[in-house]
């Protein structure tokens, strides 16, 4: 879907992005992860040509975007910014309607689409006539997201979209983000410096440093097959939490004991991550949890100790 | 008629047509200039916001324009644009440019970068970003600039009357030279009110919230055009020749009023400043001007004085007028000042004025050369015995006289001297004298009679044909009323005079004011 080849960008003598290549498949979430100044935002902005590359090529659906007219290209790509970039002199409705207006949609179609999006993003229609300054940070970010999604672009670029939010609001929006059906149909490239966020939302992650991609891999790949010490060091601090969140029940399946007791109605699906599984002990105060394989309806159960032991064996198998 | 007892309201009611016309001219002048300044300044501000390398030079030039004294700027305009509304508007708009350009630039540069980036990223073209995002968001700052420009323009527009463009300045400057407080206030109060009202209205516009701002933005150009249309050219019936008179001359019985009543002269007239009048005549912008018979520019610009065959211009013999208390305090003063009595006749004074006005010699040098030539000059003594304060009005002849007196006092006594030159017109100078801010200044008999004592028309008529009668009348009047003494006249008569270009006078065979009238009435 999106193919980046030998992309470079220099500002004077500084190479902000240095000959990077990667690919994002359709409906995938790619996270560009790294510290400030690693070139991740520059990379993102070259994809909608807010920044013109010094060298290399970018293809979207096989088309070289450098040969397209920038304005037309951008109208087909959703863009969400950290500070939302809402127009302070436009109402919420007007803000969301900017791209439809540029695309010359008729009024009824625009209104219908806006109403649909607001509902999905849990904003009532009361907000339509409000100005951005009257909204909370989380609400502003939702409107920003609605604005990016309104014309249903196939590609969505997000520049630290949740960076300005407090932790509570952020994790709430993370949940919504993952649940939003609109987003499942998108190919997304998101920039973040937050490792947790990257692991939570990314299908695969490009870890960048000094303008180069150090490792382009799945979250598990980064954790269990780090390319070098930089990758290892980058994840070190939050390693255990990241592992719990990355490892899923189906990966532990073979080490889970068969069902001993009767099936509980609230068994977890097999895609559940270990972190959520462990949380059950805390919230449900149960001795064991049940995990169900949806395909063959087999159910297995495990106690806290059994789960941890399965995790330990899994890690040994991966050789970490 | 005693104008001093007339109230301000009385004056304004009497002159209400003129006041209304001047106010409307003033508003029109202000907003035409402002409209053009916005039309130029806004795009220029946008341009330098886009190409920042030009912002330094453009703002620099606009800043320098702002520092040029307004009367000088008006003077520069005359050779290029003539006199009347054109140079006035050009000068006013140059003053209004800086705040508009600067605020447009600041406003646009100050728009949140994230908002601009979002606009671009959504697929807006550069122009769409400008009109939908940058300009609307910069609008409060731009309004603030327009507001500053408006207040500046309302103020500076009073000077438009210097170059025959009308406006409330006609009353203000006429009043200053005629020593008529009511007239000054009749111009100054409406001008101040205009500034306050427009400032207030624009401040309201600036504080509007986002919703209403859109309406305001759309209505501003319309409003500017509407207010601009207030201005119509100073209405005058066109005659074969065009006259330019000073505001002072316009309002005086021994000026334009006398020309109309005694000669029946009908000529299309504009009001113009003494400072630019001679030049405008020389540049053929004007044909007939009201000048002073000893003015150096007469010689410089090849103008000739028309003979006042019906004697309407009273004599203006110059003499120092001194506070009587100062004469007591400085015992030698009277004798020293009288050293100059009868030493300078009309042609000598014109030649001296020519040296300062046209040859650009300093008044000091001209004064010293003259005194040396006459054998009156002595080196300065120690000057430690009290301080004599000399005043002068704000034109060359008075500077020269003040310098001569200063040198004579220093050379012939031990008094110290402080010169306070450039005290504006008659009113300012005379008020300075009565309030003991100066000890003496050179005054003219005609001015003393008509601008200060202001006797009845009948008395004036009986006096003005005789030099001595006028002098004796003012001498007596000043002593009784103000305890101010008139010393001996210096000799020259700097009277009002109508003048025209020498060549034109020859071509049209005009020598007297009656000739001029006959020429104007012939077909």
Structure tokens at B420: 């306070």
pLDDT band at B356 (very low <50, low <70, confident <90, very high): confident
Helices (H), chain A: 40-47, 70-75, 92-96, 98-102, 107-120, 137-149, 167-179, 181-184, 195-201, 219-224, 229-236, 239-246, 249-252, 274-284, 304-318
Q: What are phi and psi of B246, to 5 degrees?
A: -70, 155
pLDDT digit string, tens, across residues A10-57: 998 899 999 999 999 999 999 999 988 899 999 999 999 999 999 999
Domain span at residue B296? Answer: 242-313+498-522
In the prediction, which pLDDT does A248 show? 86
Any idea which of A88-102, A254-268, B9-23, B464-478 has the lowest mean pLDDT? A254-268
Q: Do the chains contact at B122 and A50, CB–CB below 8 Å?
A: no
- E strands in B238-386: 242-245, 268-271, 288-292, 303-305, 318-323
CB contact under 8 A, A89 and B210: yes
- Report CB contact under 8 Å: A81, B118: yes
Q: In this structure, are B374 and B299 located in the same domain?
A: no
Angle between helix B85-109 and helix B70-81 axes, rounded to 10 deg: 120
Mean pLDDT of chain B: 86
Per-residue pLDDT, B213: 67
Facing A99 at nearest CB: one of B117, B123, B132: B123
**Range of weakest confidence among A65-69, B46-50, B207-211, B378-382:** B207-211
Q: What is the pLDDT of residue B312?
A: 82
pLDDT band at A257 (very low <50, low <70, confident <90, very high): confident
- Option in A48, A87, A89 nearest B121 (CB): A48
Same domain, B263 and B385: no
B430 confidence band (pLDDT: 50, 70, 90): very high
The predicted pLDDT at position A162 comes to: 86
Residues of chain B positioned with their CB less than 8 A from the CB of A88: 112, 115, 137, 210
Higher per-residue pLDDT: A51 or A315: A51
Here the CATH number for the domain that contains residue B431 is 3.10.105.10
Residues of B in contact with A48 (CB under 8 A): 121
CB contact under 8 A, A98 and B124: yes
Distance CA B9, CA A206 (A): 83
CB B292 within 8 A of CB B497: yes
Nearest to A263 by CA among A294, A300, A296, A295: A300
In a shared domain, residues B308 and B393: no
Q: Between chains, do B137 and A88 touch, taking CB under 8 Å as contact?
A: yes
Residues of A in contact with B117 (CB under 8 A): 50, 81, 85
Whether residue B77 is found in the same domain as residue B117:
yes
Kindly state whether residues B23 and B73 are assigned to the same domain.
yes
**Structural contact between residues A270 and A293, judged by C-beta atoms closer than 8 angstroms:** yes
Across the interface, of B114, B136, B214, the residue whose CB is closest to A81 is: B114
Phi, psi of A80 (to 5 degrees): -120, 130
Please list every residue in chain B whose beta carbon sits closer than 8 Å to the beta carbon of residue A71.
Answer: 123-125
A205: helix, coil or strand?
strand
B75 shares its domain with B180: yes
Q: Is A82 helix (H, G, I), strand (E, B) or coil?
A: coil
**B346, B348, B333, B356: which is closest to B440 by C-alpha?**
B333
> In the 8-state DSSP scheme, what is residue B241?
S
Last residue within a domain, chosen from B235, B262, B278:
B235
The predicted pLDDT at position B43 comes to 94
Question: Model confidence over B20-41: pLDDT tens digits?
Answer: 888 888 888 888 898 899 999 9
Q: Is B404 found in the same domain as B517?
A: no
List residues bridging with B443 in a β-sheet: B319
- In total, the C-beta contacts within 8 angstroms joining chain A to chain B are 65
Identify which of A72, A75, A89 has the shortest CB distance to residue B137.
A89
B122 touches chain A (CB under 8 A): yes
Q: Are residues B267 and B141 part of one domain?
A: no
CA–CA gap between residue A230 and residue A15 (Å, rounded):
20
CATH number at residue B300: 3.40.190.120
Q: Could you tell me which residues come within 8 angstroms of residue B329 by beta carbon, excluding any fewer than 6 positions away? A: B386
d(CA A221, CA A231): 11
Q: Look up tokens 């509304």; give the residue.
A: B85
How does residue A289 score in pLDDT terms, banded at 50, 70 and 90? confident
pLDDT at B234: 46
Q: Residue A23 belongs to what H/E stretch?
A: strand A14-24
Cross-chain residue pair B122–A79, CB shorter than 8 Å: yes
**CA nearest to A100 within chain B:** B122
Same domain? B309 vs B322: no
Q: What is the dihedral of CA A48, A54, A58, A63, to 10 degrees?
A: 90
The tens digit of pLDDT for each residue in A176-215 reads 888 888 888 899 999 999 898 898 888 999 999 999 999 9
Model pLDDT, residue B196: 92
Which tokens belong to A97? 């309607």
Verify whether the Cβ–Cβ distance B122 to A147 is below 8 Å.
yes
What are the helix and strand counts (H, E) for chain A? 15, 13
Question: Are the Cβ atoms of B123 and A71 closer than 8 angstroms?
Answer: yes
Q: Residue A236 is encoded by which pair of tokens?
A: 């070190």
Q: How does pLDDT run across B360-393, given as a tens digit for each residue?
A: 889 999 999 999 999 999 998 888 888 999 999 8
| B400 and B302 share one domain | no
Q: Give the DSSP H or E segment for A287.
A: none
Residue B4, pLDDT above cutoff 50: no
Whether the pLDDT of residue B3 is over 50: the answer is no
Taking residues B122-134, report their average pLDDT. 92
Where does a domain end: B205, B235, B265?
B235
Inform me whether the C-beta atom of residue B215 falls under 8 Å from chain A C-beta atoms.
Answer: no
The whole-angstrom separation of Cα B423 and Cα B430 is 9
Instruction: Say what the pLDDT of residue A290 is.
Output: 82
Q: Residues B176-219: pLDDT tens digits?
A: 777 778 888 988 999 999 999 988 988 887 776 666 666 767 77
Average pLDDT over residues A205-234: 91
- Collect all residues of chain B within an 8 Å Cβ-Cβ radius of residue A86: 115, 118
- Chain B residue whose CA is closest to A97: B122
* Higher per-residue pLDDT: B217 or B286: B286
Half-sphere exposure of B2 (CA within 13 A, CB side): 4
- Of the candidates B495, B490, B448, B79, the one whose C-alpha atom is nearest the C-alpha of residue B320 is B490
As a whole number, mean pLDDT of residues B220-229 equals 73
* Residue B2: predicted pLDDT: 43
Give me the pLDDT at residue B236, please.
Answer: 43
- Identify which of B117, B123, B214 has the shortest CB distance to residue A72: B123
How many Å apart are CA B136 and CA B152, to the nearest integer?
25
In tens, the pLDDT along A101-142 reads 999 999 999 999 999 998 888 888 888 999 999 998 888 988
The answer to whether the CB atoms of A75 and B123 lie below 8 A apart is yes
**CB neighbour class for A189 (10 Å; exposed up to 12, middle 13-18, buried from 19):** buried
Local confidence band at B230 (pLDDT 50, 70, 90 cut-offs): low
**pLDDT for residue A43:** 94
Task: Please indicate whether, in this complex, the C-beta atoms of A87 and B119 are within 8 angstroms of each other.
Answer: yes
Report whether B87 contacts B161 (CB < 8 A): no
What Rg value do the Cα atoms of chain A yield, rounded? Answer: 22
- pLDDT at residue B239 in the model: 67
CATH of the domain at B32: 1.10.3720.10
Reduce the DSSP state of residue B167 to 3 states and report it. coil
Choice between A150 and A251, residue whose per-residue pLDDT is larger? A150
* Helix axes A304-318 and A239-246, enclosed angle (nearest 10): 100
Please answer yes or no on whether B117 and A81 come within 8 Å at the CB atom.
yes
Say whether both B381 and B463 belong to one domain.
yes
Token reading at B352: 């001296």
Residue finishing a domain among B212, B235, B258: B235
A82–B114 C-beta distance less than 8 A: yes
Mean pLDDT of A150-166: 89
- Give ∠ CA A256-A257-A260 in degrees, rounded to 5: 140
**Total structural domains within chain B:** 3
Report ipTM (2 d.p.). Answer: 0.85
pLDDT for res B212: 67
Q: Label the pairing between strands B387-391 and A288-292.
A: unpaired
Instruction: State whether B75 and B103 are in the same domain.
Output: yes
């Amino acid at each position: 879907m999106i193919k980046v080849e030998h992309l470079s960008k220099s500002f004077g003598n500084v190479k902000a992005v240095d000959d990077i290549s990667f690919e994002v498949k359709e409906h995938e979430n790619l996270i560009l992860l790294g510290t400030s100044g690693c070139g991740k935002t520059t990379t993102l902005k070259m994809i909608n040509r807010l920044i013109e590359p010094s060298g290399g090529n970018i293809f979207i659906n096989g088309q070289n975007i450098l040969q397209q007219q920038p304005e037309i290209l951008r109208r087909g790509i959703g863009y969400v910014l950290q500070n939302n970039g809402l127009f302070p002199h436009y109402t919420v409705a007007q803000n969301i309607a900017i791209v439809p207006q540029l695309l010359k949609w008729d009024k009824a179609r625009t209104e219908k689409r806006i109403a649909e999006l607001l509902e999905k993003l849990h904003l009532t229609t009361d907000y339509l006539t409000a100005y951005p300054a009257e909204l909370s940070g989380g609400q502003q970010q939702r409107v920003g997201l609605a604005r990016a999604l309104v014309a249903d672009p196939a590609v969505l670029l997000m520049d630290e979209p949740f960076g300005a939010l407090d932790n509570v609001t952020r994790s709430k929006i993370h949940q919504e983000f993952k649940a939003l059906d609109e987003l499942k149909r998108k190919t997304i490239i998101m920039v973040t410096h937050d490792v947790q966020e990257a692991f939570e939302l990314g299908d695969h992650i490009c870890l960048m440093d000094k303008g180069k991609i150090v490792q382009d891999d799945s979250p598990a790949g980064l954790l269990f097959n780090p390319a070098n010490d930089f990758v290892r060091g980058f994840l070190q601090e939050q390693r255990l939490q990241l592992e719990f969140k990355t490892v899923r029940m189906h990966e532990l399946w073979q080490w889970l004991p068969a069902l001993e007791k009767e099936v509980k109605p609230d068994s977890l699906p097999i895609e559940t991550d270990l972190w959520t599984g462990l949380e059950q002990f805390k919230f449900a105060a149960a001795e064991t949890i049940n995990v169900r394989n949806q395909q063959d309806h087999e159910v297995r159960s495990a106690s806290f100790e059994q789960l941890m032991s399965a995790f330990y064996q899994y890690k040994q198998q991966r050789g970490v | 008629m005693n104008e001093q007892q007339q109230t301000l309201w009385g004056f304004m009611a009497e002159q209400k047509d003129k006041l209304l016309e001047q106010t409307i001219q003033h508003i029109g002048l202000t907003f035409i200039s402002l409209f053009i300044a916005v039309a130029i300044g806004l795009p220029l501000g946008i341009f330098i916001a886009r190409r920042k390398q030009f912002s330094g030079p453009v703002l620099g030039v606009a800043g320098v324009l702002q520092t040029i004294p307004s009367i000088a700027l008006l003077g520069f305009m005359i050779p290029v644009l003539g006199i009347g509304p054109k140079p006035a508007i050009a000068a006013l708009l140059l003053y209004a440019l800086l705040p508009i350009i600067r605020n447009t630039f600041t406003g646009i540069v100050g728009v949140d970068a994230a908002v601009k980036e979002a606009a671009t990223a959504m697929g807006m073209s550069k122009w769409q970003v400008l009109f939908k995002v940058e300009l609307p968001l910069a609008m409060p700052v731009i309004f603030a600039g327009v507001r500053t420009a408006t207040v500046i323009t309302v103020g500076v527009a009073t000077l438009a009357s210097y170059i025959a463009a009308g406006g409330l300045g006609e009353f203000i400057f006429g009043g200053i030279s005629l020593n008529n407080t009511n007239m000054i206030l009749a111009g100054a109060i409406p001008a101040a009110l205009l500034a306050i009202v427009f400032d207030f209205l624009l401040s309201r516009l600036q504080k509007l919230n986002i919703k209403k701002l859109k309406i305001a933005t759309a209505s501003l150009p319309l409003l500017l055009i509407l207010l601009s249309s207030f201005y119509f050219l100073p209405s005058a019936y066109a005659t074969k020749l065009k006259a330019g008179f000073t505001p002072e001359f316009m309002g005086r019985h021994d000026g334009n009023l006398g020309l109309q009543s005694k000669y029946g002269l009908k000529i299309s007239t504009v009001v113009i400043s003494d400072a630019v009048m001679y030049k405008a005549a020389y540049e053929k912008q004007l044909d007939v001007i009201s000048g002073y018979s000893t003015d150096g520019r007469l010689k410089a610009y090849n103008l000739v004085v028309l003979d006042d065959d019906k004697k309407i211009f009273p004599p203006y013999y110059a003499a120092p007028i001194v506070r009587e208390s100062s004469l007591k305090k400085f015992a030698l003063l009277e004798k020293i000042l009288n050293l100059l009595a009868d030493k300078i006749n009309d042609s000598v004074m014109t030649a001296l004025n020519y040296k300062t006005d046209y040859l650009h010699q300093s008044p000091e040098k001209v004064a010293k050369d003259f005194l040396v030539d006459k054998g009156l000059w002595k080196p300065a003594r120690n000057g430690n015995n009290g301080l004599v304060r000399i005043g002068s009005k704000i034109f060359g002849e008075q500077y020269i006289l003040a310098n001569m007196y200063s040198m004579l006092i220093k050379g012939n006594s031990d008094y110290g001297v402080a010169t306070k030159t450039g005290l504006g017109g008659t009113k300012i100078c005379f008020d300075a004298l009565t309030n003991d801010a100066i000890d003496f200044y050179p005054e003219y008999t005609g001015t003393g009679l008509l601008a200060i004592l202001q006797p009845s028309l009948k008395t004036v008529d009986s006096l003005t044909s005789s030099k001595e009668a006028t002098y004796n009348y003012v001498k007596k009047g000043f002593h009784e009323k103000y305890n101010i003494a008139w010393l001996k006249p210096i000799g020259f008569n700097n009277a009002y005079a109508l003048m025209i270009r020498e060549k034109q006078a020859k071509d049209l065979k005009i020598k007297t004011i009656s000739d001029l009238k006959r020429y104007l009435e012939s077909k």
